[in-house]
Structure 1
């Protein structure tokens, strides 16, 4: 049965292609949504970009017919611009009819009373869904690109096997996946911890090589990467991904204090400064809050970035401090030599970046489109590392299920050039671990 979906402004600003995501159902865009999108089009961030993209899509559809009467979509559905001011009388007394959200609710209520088919309001605003429910309107979140955070791929799996299988792995330096008799498939570069099924203490931490269909030993067993020693098995797995040049994209997810940024920076410094496998280490992060332009801060680009990059500098100075007492000067020297570059994501679009080690910190504040934009900048022999905590999101249109980092982890988890690990144990300090786990 066909349905009518009414789209809220935040859905369009999150995904400008959302109007094409509802199969052969009918899409209603209230006029107030067009007005709100128009107000955002001059912004110089992802919200402004999405507003402009949506306007172009609708303008192309306008050439096919009158939007006020409905225009056919290629998927069999229809899109229509609704003059919602005509149905404001549907709202109960006490609700301000001048508020944009209430005008969208009025449109939904009016159509629901007129139509014989289901009418559903789609919004990413929780309070909007609550208000809709109070008015008897069915409301849903926009979940086309959402990932269930509770089911997010962790990158590490514990498997119980007979002791002779573990002995075979150590002897032959490999173990065929078929010998494990698994009900679930293993993903490319997934880590496996083999445990003795009879309760023995013997175990083996290994990685699944999809191209050979084998579990293989770790390549990098160094106890020191730029002065950093892994403190748990997840951190060991992280270094295995970070130091492997055949794995071009690495995602590190974990709560505060698990060492995501520190491990990535240590590996980056090792690969660029010591091993010289890459020409430069580029470190970038979203400017949060997203709506503030860098131009509001005084100075040149580096001075504007300094407040946002302070966490990166803190970690960098901690790492370099082990090799030089004057840490600030040492970091400045690395920048002067062109080995390290701090960059704003604002300036990433349009670049082609070959032979560099790129770290994107706080990637949970990026949309799926922004993540795609960054990754498609990678040139020959470039490695990209994305770190973030999906539970600490500052972007107004993203949450733990719809941000670009979790979307990326799930969509690319079986690609041979990609590796992922979720860091679960806090190592910053006992106090930080208590706060991250209990508050």
Structure 2
């Protein structure tokens, strides 16, 4: 058996909920959908939850692929090449009648859906002993159970994984050891007004992308990549002092990482800014301060829309009293906490908060109601983005219309979703996908500035 030999991939329900068209992403291999997966999709599609939309989309997609096939063809496999669209699927799609499986003492109890999917993998593994049979699921515990019962190959869904190790995730900046100029040979410098630009050899920065920051250990050099080709990299020399001198709504950076973040946040030419980093590094505070500065002081945008990922929100928000903003308030306490920090020195903090909420037109919105909207001339603050999938983030980002800036922030060490990991998180996905987009910037905020206690806890717990 070689790598090009067609394999059998058995998909769990959560794969189709994660990406309804996932069965088209296995190239020349055969995709198998256990009957119990269709039963679970049927139950989920009628629930009053956001995931129900994905269930209905998956059902329609499967029906479109199998509608002209006979029962025998569906059991044996329907060629995916007959499905129109931009895909490279050249294998087959089949439904496995797992209800025909008989309970055996050596296997898991077939009364549970997960166990029926695992038993499907075991049955196909026995039926095709010389072919690789792979169970694909995002459920970590199910992967463990499958391996424990004898399934040889069990994998997570990797089509939307752009990196294999979170340590390779782009930080949005390069930190040069020692003095930056010691690593540079020939350089061409140009002065344009108050701005200085340098062109250095590509060898100095072999891995480079738009709006990537460059700093060094000397504490003097700080620049941003504004262009590059095969031989040269063009840098905008911002300088360390200037980077540390940024100010937004009374907030100044406490370290160079916050300085780089403020540079990106205050740049109206950037449509997307992604902030990653540990708890207490200042992601939410900096994003809110920059948003207030751009809306109230500079008038670049008309309003601030605040939203965030809340795993339980689809089930519970409808039962809370009040307007949408009032229902969202418990999950957006981080924003109101940051507003209090920004105005704690005011004579009447409550009056200031009320004034700013009105002046900046701050709106709290649920992710459930973002779909289908077109947001114009606004700053969108998306907090806790690590709990979103790539498709969910795509839904939100594609809502942003003319003159809109979106700020995504999240901590990949605090993922609450059952099926997401740091590698599969949508936040990781967009960091890697948008590296080549000239209208975006990423900054990883190293260091905890909330308090010495928070820093000690981050480093030692």
* TM above 0.5: yes
Deviations 1:245-266 (A, max 9, x none): 1111000001100000000000
Structure 2 counterparts to residues 180-219 of structure 1, below 5 A? 181-182=203-204, 184-194=206-216, 201=218, 203-210=220-227, 213-218=233-238
Distance 1:90 1:188, change over 3 A: farther
Kindly indicate whether the alpha-carbon contact (under 8 Å) linking 1:8 and 1:33 is maintained by their aligned counterparts in 2. yes
1:394 CA displacement: 1.4
CA contact (8 A) 2:190 2:198 kept: no
Equivalent position of 1:198 in the other structure: none
1:72 and 2:79 are equivalent in the alignment: yes
Deviation at 1:395, TM superposition (A): 1.9
> What does the per-residue CA deviation read over 1:108-162, in whole Å, with 9 as the maximum and x for residues that have no partner?
1111111131111111111211111122212111111123322100111123544
Change in Cα spacing, 1:167 to 1:314, as seen in structure 2 (3 Å) is: farther
Look up the match of 1:13.
17
1:391 aligned to 2:404? no
SS state of the match for residue 415, structure 2?
coil
Shift of 1:68: 3.0
Cα shift at 1:52: 0.9
Q: Secondary structure of 1:431's match?
A: helix
2:287 equivalent to 1:264: yes
Q: 1:113 aligns with which of 121, 126, 131?
A: 126
Provide structure 1 residue ranges, at least 5 long, that are not aligned to the other structure.
Answer: 196-200
Maintained 8 Å contact 2:187/2:200:
no
Task: Return the TM-score normalized by structure 1.
Answer: 0.92
- In the TM superposition, residue 416 of structure 1 has moved relative to its aligned partner by 0.4
Does 1:139 pair with 2:154? yes
Q: Structure 1 residue 252 and structure 2 residue 278: aligned? A: no
Task: Determine which of 319, 331, 337 is the counterpart of 2:353.
Answer: 331
Match of 1:151 among 165, 168, 184: 168
Deviations 1:298-357 (A, max 9, x none): 2222221111111111111211334x3322332222333462111111121111111111
Aligned-residue Cα RMSD (Å) equals 2.2
1:288-303 correspondence to structure 2 within 5 Å: 288-303=311-326
Q: 1:100 aligns with which of 107, 113, 118?
A: 113
Residue 57 of structure 1 corresponds to which residue in structure 2? 61
Matches of 2:454 and 2:211, distance apart in 1: 30
Are 1:126 and 2:140 an aligned pair? yes
Match of 2:95 in 1: 81
- Aligned residue for 1:342? 364
CA contact (8 A) 1:366 1:404 kept: yes
Cα gap change, 1:123 to 1:202, in 2 (>3 Å)? closer
User: For structure 2, which runs of at least 5 residues remain unmatched after alignment?
Assistant: 82-88
Deviation digits for residues 250-284 of structure 1, max 9, x if unmatched?
00001100000000000001111111111111111
1:211 Cα deviation (Å)? 6.6
CA shift at 1:437, angstroms?
2.0
